[in-house]
A and B are shown apart, each in its own frame.
Chain A
Amino acid sequence: MFARSILPSMGLALLLAACASLSPQLAPEAQFRAVNRIGWGATSAQLDDAARLGWPSYVEQQLHADPRKPLALAAAQAQINALKVQQRDVSELLLQVDTLRREQDKSASEDERKAARQAYQAQLNTLSRETAHRQLLRQIYSDQQLLEHMSWFWFNHFNVHQQKRELRALVADYEESALRPQALGSFRTLLGAVARHPAMLRYLDNDQNSAGKPNENYARELLELHTMGVDGGYTQKDVQELARVLTGFGTRLEPGAPKLRPDQARQYVRQGLFEFNPARHDFGDKLLLGHTIKGRGAAELDEALDLLVAQPATAHFVSQRLAMFFLSDTPPADLVARMAERFQRSGGRIDETLRVLLLAPEFAAAEPRKFKDPQHFIVSGLRAAYADQVIVNSQPVQAWLRRLGEGQYDKLTPDGYPLVAEAWNSAGQLGTRFELARALGSGPAALFKAESPEVSVSVPVPVPAPKPLLRSAWFEQHLAPRLSVGTRDALALAATPADWNALFLSAPEFMYR
């Protein structure tokens, strides 16, 4: 009902874009901060783009990103194009993995079983490494930084853990077809795509949720983590009722439909690996958040999701999470309120909500600073070191992230990785960061050694591996003037370029964005 009462969202977007062009331009120092915060860390090219366009127009350009646009650096895009997860359909990938799993049962001897088990795990691990490699290449080299930033945000918001069941074969498609198309679009559409993706349905056990045998797992997290927030005002009864709405939403690997009565067959839905199976659905009426949902089949879920997106609690919760991600552990309440209002009035448009944040004066302010989580720390370091030099092997980087406790697709629980500094600034974490700053700052040759077959494509590999030069024009212009005395003195005492790099990547100025 909310979506009909407002201007068509396209018209509103144009109107806001027009307003944005009247926004004041930012001073260079503020612009540096804003560019550094909108994505995975500023690079010279990105700073030039923003300077050429002016901040408000740069924001518009970033908000209108195209998820299918190839990376400008051909050597990066060629690697992505060569990945199995990029070339093959997810159903095909899962079928392959499933065949390997069955081989284990068929094997006659223990040796054969062992070999089959290893082949099965090797295939899943390859798919997992490829997905992580693609994500890192995009984060480091894409000029659509806002899109890449938000793609990670949404994965984390709708977190699934790749080690559960066969999710390593599904996360690439989850990212590509459920999350990225709507990363800057409609929250309602995004929610619907997640609810029908096999990665989420399997991760939170909804494929096991059926009439008379309820499983509340997905229903609870859908309310608590995806939409309203734990204090959003729903009850245990609402969780149970939403679980009933979700009965029958599952996955199917075999082609075609299961055997069903004719009246059920008419209601059966199949899209790729997703199925809605009426034989497993609870057709009774449901009472969700005081609203009666007539029991009638798959359409109930759309009605329930409409209801959830329309809740003020959802607008507030999503806005709060966005502001925490981009700006501060404790974002200004009035800014979050303005974002929530825009979210609600636009029927959950993510781009419009973000525009309020990105053009707010607070976004470019010096304080408060945001402490980087490991993914931001590592990726911003790589962007500073290798903006023009495409790495061909990201396995060392994937291992660094695991060591820092933020492995890609590796968060066990559905709440995703924490967005606050306290989760990442412990003594142990900082010590590990200093060690990894040394590893990255020394220019590890392994990043330029295409040893795994899945990324050994015809990209020019520089020999010898290039050494990063972090003490660049970019540094001298934007950061050097604002270093603390302590950092400046320490950098002046660095004995070698590698020491200098390690100290720079370890400095407080680099730990915050």
Chain B
Amino acid sequence: MNRRELLRHLGQLGVATTLAAPMGRLYAAADADRPRFLLVFLRGGYDAANLLVPVSSSHYYEQRPRIAIAKPGEGANPAAESALAINSDWALHPALRDTVYLLLQRGQATFIPFAGTDDLSRSHFETQDSIELGQSLGGSRDLQSGFMNRLALELGAKQAISFTDQLPMCFRGPARIGNAALRDAGRPAVDAKNRALLSSMYRDEALASQVNEGFALKDELARELAVPQAGENRENRERDAASRNAINAKGFELEARRMARLMRGRFSLGFVDVGGWDTHVNQGGASGALATKFEELGRGLAGFADEMGASMWQRTTVMVVSEFGRTFRENGNRGTDHGHGSVYWLLGGSLARAGVAGEQIELKAGTLFQNRDYPVLNDYRGVLGGLWQRQFGLSNEALGRVFPGATALDLKLV
């Protein structure tokens, strides 16, 4: 086969067409009206009891003498160190004062305590995997089928992206999902001729779709994240009218703002994970290691909301989850160990209710699960399923395919 034949062959496969004209087919599908959903996975089991502080529980203050967050208006330095009031039972960690707490005051944040899974292994890896697979426990599991992939199948697979270096388990499955961590966007890519040769080498391989998806995505990222230059075409200028300058942020906020730029384009379904929540030792209280993590996460989430732009944020929800909560009692090292129930966060521009949602229970010695953890009263599949039925209009049958065997829990969140 000579070069001309090879290129003709590629043309027949549609590969060369895609590479030569990335503006065509791929972008036509962008649909500004489509609802958006971002899943944020906090890996490591974050300490939910210090995020959404159960201020009416005297047991909380007895069990956490060195790491508890003071009630609103109390403590040595109330302005900086006390929790931010939500209602008479709950208050928010002060590290979120300028970010997520502002969203909450605008009616754009809701917390769902006692959320989680019935997986009791208390293993990070086992529990993360079982949540990401989203299948019933006890039965035989299909390790090649994650719930975000099944959701992508229901919603149209071309619209999903994972903002991670590797494809997470929740996105595994038959829908081909692209992935790109956005820390280092816009690196120089392989030139068109070599791309065509690479595609041809993989044409009979199972990896062919990933290879071609990767090339297309690379182009798109470079285009979407580029700073508009003088003389660029009109379409681009309009697209970036709301943020003409390069993103002025770093760390997770920079990534989150880039994610928003892509999600206000053709991607309506996204995933990102944030690690480092396994606070066995010296986690701190109102300040310290965990507070710093909350602060960085909060800035990223608020930056995401801001970058989506007001009208797109109206159609967007963000759910923040973690594999489990931590022990209610602090351990011997001013930290906490692996627990059970967690607190999920829901952010969005048009939530039906702000504050705290879902089934709750008074927190005292007798109500802790196995005398150590939050119980799980709001199953993650039910909570997400209920949200998606409202947001995406998923039928019961469709939801049954996304979360086999689970029942939607309608918390009337949006």
Contacts and interface: CB of A to CB of B under 8 A. Distances in A.
Interface of A: 205, 208-210, 212-217, 220, 224-225, 230, 236, 239, 403-405, 412-413, 415, 422-431, 434-435, 438, 484-487, 489-490, 493-494, 499, 502-503, 506-508, 511
B360 interface: no
A423 B165 CA distance: 10
A205 B333 contact: yes
Contact of A236 (B122, B166, B281): B122
Interface in B198-250: 198, 200-205, 207, 210-211, 213-215, 217-218
Interface string B327-353: 000011101011000000000000000
Contact of B214 (A214, A225, A428, A487): A428
A213 B333 contact: yes
A511 B190 CA distance: 18
Contacts of B167: 422-423, 426-428
Chain A at the B interface: SS class: helix
Interface stretch (B62-70, B79-87, B177-185): B177-185
A434 B198 contact: yes
Contacts of A434: 190, 194, 198
12 contacts: A205-B333, A208-B332, A209-B332, A412-B275, A413-B125, A422-B144, A426-B179, A428-B178, A428-B217, A486-B203, A493-B3, A507-B201
A431 B187 CA distance: 11
Contacts of A424: 166
Contacts of A511: 207
A131 to B, nearest CB: 22
Contacts, number: 148
Contact of B166 (A429, A485, A489, A508): A429
A217 B123 CA distance: 10
A253 to B, nearest CB: 17
B21 interface: no
A403 B197 CA distance: 24
Contacts of A494: 197
Contacts of A210: 332
B1 interface: yes
Contacts of A507: 201
Nearest to B334: A208
A151 B98 CA distance: 48
Given A224-B123, A428-B217, A511-B207, 10 more contacts: A210-B332, A230-B123, A230-B126, A405-B165, A413-B125, A427-B179, A438-B194, A493-B3, A503-B197, A508-B202
Contacts of A404: 165
Given A213-B333, A427-B213, A508-B205, A489 B200 contact: yes
Interface string B9-46: 00000000000000000000000000000000001100
A413 B204 contact: no
Nearest to B121: A230
Contacts of B214: 426-428, 430-431
B207 A425 contact: yes
A405 B351 CA distance: 36
B280 interface: yes
B192 interface: no
Contact of B123 (A205, A212, A220): A220
B337 A216 contact: yes
Interface string B161-195: 01011110100100010111100100111100010
A40 to B, nearest CB: 21
B333 A435 contact: no
A503 B332 contact: no
Interface in B89-140: 120-126
Given A210-B332, A214-B331, A205 B280 contact: yes
Interface of B: 1, 3, 6, 43-44, 120-126, 144, 162, 164-167, 169, 172, 176, 178-181, 184, 187-190, 194, 197-198, 200-205, 207, 210-211, 213-215, 217-218, 275-276, 278, 280-281, 331-333, 335, 337-338
B259 to A, nearest CB: 14
Q: Which 6 A-B pairs have the closest CB atoms?
A: A213-B332, A427-B214, A431-B214, A405-B165, A426-B167, A490-B197
A435 B212 CA distance: 14
Contacts of A217: 280, 337
Contacts of B202: 486, 508
A438 B276 CA distance: 34
B296 to A, nearest CB: 16
Contacts of A425: 207, 210
Contacts of A502: 194
Contact of A215 (B213, B275, B337): B337
Contacts of B162: 426
Contacts of B1: 485, 489
A213 B332 CA distance: 4
Contact of A430 (B120, B121, B210): B210
Contacts of A214: 331-332
Contacts of B203: 486
B182 to A, nearest CB: 10
Contacts of A499: 194
A20 B166 CA distance: 41
Contact of A506 (B169, B198, B213): B198
A508 B198 CA distance: 9
A230 B125 contact: yes
A486 B331 contact: no
A117 B172 CA distance: 43
Nearest to B180: A428
Contacts of A493: 3, 6, 197
A18 to B, nearest CB: 41
A428 B165 contact: yes
Nearest to A403: B184
B6 A413 contact: no
A215 B331 contact: yes
Most A C-beta atoms less than 10 A away, residue of B172, B201, B202, B205 = B201
A486 B201 contact: yes
A490 B210 contact: no
A422 B172 contact: yes
A430 B276 CA distance: 26
A208 B333 contact: yes
A506 B201 CA distance: 9
Contacts of B180: 427-428
A205 B178 contact: no
Contacts of B121: 230
B204 A427 contact: no
Given A217-B337, A413-B275, A438 B190 contact: yes
Contacts of A412: 275-276
Contact of B204 (A215, A422, A426, A486): A486
A213 B333 CA distance: 8
Given A216-B338, A486-B203, A431 B215 contact: yes
A428 B332 contact: no
Contacts of B189: 431, 435
B207 A430 contact: yes
A434 B1 CA distance: 23
A484 B276 CA distance: 44
A438 B332 CA distance: 52
Nearest to A208: B333
Contacts of A216: 337-338
A220 B338 contact: yes
Nearest to A404: B165
B181 to A, nearest CB: 7
A485 B5 CA distance: 14
A487 B281 CA distance: 53
Contacts of A205: 280-281, 333, 335
Contacts of A415: 124-125
A503 B211 CA distance: 14
A497 to B, nearest CB: 14
Contacts of B169: 422
B166 A423 contact: yes
A236 B121 CA distance: 8
Nearest to B209: A427
B210 A426 contact: yes
